[in-house]
Chain A
Amino acid sequence: DQQVKQNSPSLSVQEGRISILNCDYTNSMFDYFLWYKKYPAEGPTFLISISSIKDKNEDGRFTVFLNKSAKHLSLHIVPSQPGDSAVYFCAARSGGSNYKLTFGKGTLLTVNP
């Protein structure tokens, strides 16, 4: 039962354009969401997060949007840079859990120069 779904295994974008990575979830108990970025041969690194009491959180070029009614969140990267090429994981915390995150399968973003 996949509770966090990233339906696009890959995405290719031109440098300077917007990248939009999508994530859907099924568990209504999820109340906190995070995005992690992973380069090859490295561990994931935290990118940005959002609480369910908000619908948007911004950090520089990165913005996460949350649509609770649709159980959908998205990560926008503007403008995209070649260094953004990585695998992006969406993760969610259940309000009933103190420590457990549920991760999606990841989306490989390629930003072409």
Chain B
Amino acid sequence: DVKVTQSSRYLVKRTGEKVFLECVQDMDHENMFWYRQDPGLGLRLIYFSYDVKMKEKGDIPEGYSVSREKKERFSLILESASTNQTSMYLCASSLQGSRWKLFFGSGTQLSVL
């Protein structure tokens, strides 16, 4: 079974802090994604990566950056956290051959105070 592991289940940070959310997958998937889930808004794509060191903006990249130095790891960075970034963050991965079948991690609930 594919396992997508997000480093923290819950995270509380202060406004202005730099925040790192880590995601690791163990099935050699080429593609990795960061989504955020907000009540009444569904899942929205922040960034994705289809190869090491490659990244593409999703629908809502403002205020975020990403890093993919190794194939199995995809990091989401909040350069200066703000209260409107309080959300559930979901990491996902997929194989190039079936890129629409996403495997999600359990999520990180981030609260920015």
Contacts and interface: CB of A to CB of B under 8 A. Distances in A.
Contacts of B106: 41-43
Given A49-B100, A99-B56, A101-B102, A43 B45 contact: no
B4 A101 contact: no
A25 interface: no
Of the candidates B43, B101, B103, the one having the most CB atoms from chain A within 10 angstroms of its own CB is B43
B34 interface: no
Interface residues of A, number: 23
A6 B4 CA distance: 27
Nearest to B92: A43
Contacts of A6: 42
B15 to A, nearest CB: 27
Q: How large is the interface on B (under 10, 10 to 19, 20 to 34, 35 or more residues)?
A: 20 to 34
B99 interface: yes
Contacts of B43: 44, 89, 91, 103
B100 A34 contact: yes
Interface of A: 4, 6, 32, 34, 36, 41-46, 49, 89, 91, 93, 98-101, 103-106
5 contacts: A43-B104, A43-B106, A99-B31, A103-B42, A105-B41
